[in-house]
């Protein structure tokens, strides 16, 4: 980031033209997983970095065609230059994580090395008999989920909401993002932590994959295994501090299978009038409620059940035509491609989206609705001119990345989009 560049957080929709985005290129933290510790890291499989990394680099190269892309590790290195920030982050990690005596040498690392080790993990120094006999390799565990940068923080209008992660193994991701957004001198925003501010139950969790910004005044959230009702209540309390009428549309999600981890695995915005949905849950489920909460000023004035997300949005002036993940013919195809993050698209601009090539039935459904299909490798090599294309889907290779349990939206943390002319 140029030293004189100032960036104001501004995300008032899921589809506005992307200007700035934060990503994290997966590294050694992914390769540090083994079959034995994968479940602890919330994975049902282990990834091959030599395969996943070229796929990710292709994805990042596409993003760079449309926006400025910042790396978590670079931003973290920059904020660690402030000794107060560095000491506070280390102190928090030492208090909250079981890290034996690593605190005494975390302070010895240079800023770049500390940033790397806080993400890739700090290996245990086998300098006592107890440690020598310990089968654990790390004093500070790696963060193999961090390339899903969406989850640890949420851009909401001109603020950044810090998530409260459902699983302890991901808490450090949120602490790192909080340090970046609170202290980076070139990021201009209000950084808020609603769970810390408002929750008294001790049960509140909320993750960014569950929260979607439909419009400046309309927010969506999943009620999931990762985002609790208490977490959403914390968001409600935060929204009460903002003037005007706000709407929060909530969708209950099943706790299994694990592909339903967040709302953006079954519903994402594509254009002013299109969204991608997993139809069996969004339109046909009778067991999972859709709830509409209306806030006016500092009060909740109405809570009611809705038929579904689309019906609730239509009442608010957003009439979306759904495109079905997996196509329209076969529920098996829908289920298979939803499992492979087939509903998880990321909008680069209205009607210009990116997703996995492997979900062929989903890509075909998009094409039938007027989205030109563009291969990422052709775009990167400048074989395709998209200047005059109004609607397209860029397909990235993701056979390995998708095994991590997330898609293009999961791997991005937008910090600025142009406002949409609705």
Cβ atoms of 248 and 236 closer than 8 Å: yes
- Domains of the chain (ranges; CATH) run 9-91+141-417 (3.75.10.10)
The closest of 164, 158, 141, 189 to 43, measured between CA atoms, is 141
CA distances from 166 to 151, 207, 261 (A): 10, 8, 11
pLDDT at 75: 97
**SS3 category, 358:** coil
Q: Which residues of 54-72 are buried (b: 16+ CB within 10 A; e: fewer)?
A: ebbebbbbbbeebbbbbeb
pLDDT, tens digit, 9 for 90 and up, residues 92-134: 998 888 666 788 788 889 999 999 999 999 888 888 888 888 8
pLDDT at 170: 93
Residues in contact with 263: Cβ distance below 8 Å, sequence separation at least 6, in sequence order: 209, 210, 211, 212, 220, 221, 222, 224, 251, 253
**SS3 category, 268:** strand
Question: Is the per-residue pLDDT at 149 higher than 60?
Answer: yes
pLDDT at 45: 62
**SS3 category, 330:** coil
Q: What's the mean pLDDT in 179-198?
A: 95
Cβ atoms of 338 and 280 closer than 8 Å: no
Q: Maximum CA pair distance of the chain?
A: 67
Q: What is the mean pLDDT of the chain?
A: 93
d(CA 97, CA 143): 13
At 44, the pLDDT band (50, 70, 90 cuts) reads low
Q: H or E element: which one contains 191?
A: strand 190-192
DSSP strand pairing (190-192 vs 159-162) = parallel
Describe the crossing of helices 72-79 and 111-120 by its angle, rounded to 10 degrees. 130
pLDDT, tens digit, 9 for 90 and up, residues 371-413: 999 999 999 999 998 988 899 999 999 989 988 889 999 999 9
Phi/psi of residue 117, nearest 5 degrees = -70, -30
d(CA 142, CA 29): 5
∠ at Cα 422 (248, 311), nearest 5°?
45
Q: H or E element: which one contains 88?
A: helix 83-96
Question: Is the per-residue pLDDT at 143 higher than 60?
Answer: yes
- Give, as one character, the DSSP assignment of residue 241: T
Cβ atoms of 325 and 343 closer than 8 Å: yes
- Give, as one character, the DSSP assignment of residue 11: B
**SS3 category, 32:** coil
Q: Is 93 exposed, middle or buried (0-12, 13-18, 19+ CB in 10 A)?
A: buried
d(CA 131, CA 127): 7
Q: What's the mean pLDDT in 190-198?
A: 96
pLDDT, tens digit, 9 for 90 and up, residues 301-349: 999 999 999 999 999 999 999 999 999 989 999 999 999 999 999 999 9
The closest of 20, 76, 75, 29 to 52, measured between CA atoms, is 29
Would you say how long the chain is, in residues? Answer: 422
Question: Is the per-residue pLDDT at 43 higher than 80?
Answer: no
Region label for 95, one of left (φ > 0), alpha (ψ between -120 and 50) or beta (otherwise): alpha
At 189, the pLDDT band (50, 70, 90 cuts) reads confident
pLDDT at 139: 85
> DSSP H helical segments within 261-384, as ranges?
279-282, 309-315, 331-339, 360-368, 376-380
At 215, the pLDDT band (50, 70, 90 cuts) reads very high
d(CA 256, CA 258): 5
pLDDT at 102: 80
> DSSP H helical segments within 203-359, as ranges?
229-239, 279-282, 309-315, 331-339
Q: What's the mean pLDDT in 187-215?
A: 96
pLDDT, tens digit, 9 for 90 and up, residues 65-89: 999 999 999 999 999 999 999 999 9
Bridge partners, residue 223, by sequence: 252
Q: Which two tokens stand for residue 17?
A: 């033209």
Q: Minimum mean pLDDT among 89-103, 180-194, 210-224, 307-321: which range?
A: 89-103
d(CA 43, CA 55): 19
pLDDT at 34: 61
Question: Is the per-residue pLDDT at 249 higher than 70?
Answer: yes
Question: Is the per-residue pLDDT at 2 higher than 70?
Answer: no
d(CA 226, CA 246): 23
């Amino acid at each position: 980031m140029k030293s004189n560049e100032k960036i104001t957080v501004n995300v008032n929709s899921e589809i506005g033209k992307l200007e700035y985005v934060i990503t994290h290129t997966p590294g050694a933290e992914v390769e540090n997983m083994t079959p034995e510790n994968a479940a602890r890291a919330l994975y049902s499989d282990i990834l091959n970095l030599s395969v996943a990394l070229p796929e990710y680099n292709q994805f990042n190269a596409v993003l760079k065609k449309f926006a400025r892309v910042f790396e978590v590790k670079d931003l973290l290195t920059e904020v660690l230059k402030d000794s107060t920030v560095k000491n506070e982050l280390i102190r928090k990690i030492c208090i909250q994580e079981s890290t034996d005596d690593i605190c005494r040498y975390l302070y010895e690392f240079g800023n770049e090395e500390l940033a790397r080790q806080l993400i890739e993990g700090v290996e245990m120094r086998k300098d006592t008999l107890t440690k020598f006999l310990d089968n654990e390799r790390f004093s500070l565990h790696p963060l193999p989920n961090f390339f899903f940068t969406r989850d640890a923080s949420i851009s909401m209008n001109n603020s950044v909401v810090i998530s409260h992660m459902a699983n302890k193994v991901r808490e450090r991701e949120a602490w790192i993002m909080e340090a970046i957004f609170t202290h980076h001198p070139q990021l201009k925003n209000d950084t808020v932590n609603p769970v810390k501010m408002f929750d008294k139950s001790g049960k509140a969790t909320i993750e960014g994959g569950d929260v979607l910004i439909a419009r400046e005044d309309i927010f969506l959230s999943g009620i999931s295994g990762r985002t609790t009702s208490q977490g959403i209540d914390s968001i409600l309390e935060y929204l009460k501090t903002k003037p005007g009428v706000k709407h929060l549309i909530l969708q209950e999600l099943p706790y299994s299978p694990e592909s339903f981890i967040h709302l953006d695995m079954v519903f994402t915005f594509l254009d002013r009038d299109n969204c991608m949905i997993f139809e069996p849950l969004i339109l046909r489920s009778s067991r999972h409620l859709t709830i509409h909460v209306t806030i006016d000023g500092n009060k909740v004035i109405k809570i009611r059940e809705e038929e579904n997300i689309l019906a609730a949005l239509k009442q608010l002036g957003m009439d979306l035509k759904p495109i079905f993940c997996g196509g329209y013919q076969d529920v098996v195809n829908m289920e298979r491609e939803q499992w492979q993050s087939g509903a998880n698209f990321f909008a680069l601009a209205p009607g210009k989206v990116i997703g996995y090539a492997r979900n062929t039935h989903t890509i075909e459904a998009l094409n039938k609705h007027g989205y030109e299909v563009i291969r990422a490798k052709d775009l990167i090599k400048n074989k395709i001119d998209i200047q005059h294309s109004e609607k397209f889907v860029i397909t990235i290779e993701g056979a390995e990345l998708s095994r991590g349990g997330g898609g293009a939206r999961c791997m991005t943390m937008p910090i600025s989009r142009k406002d949409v002319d609705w």
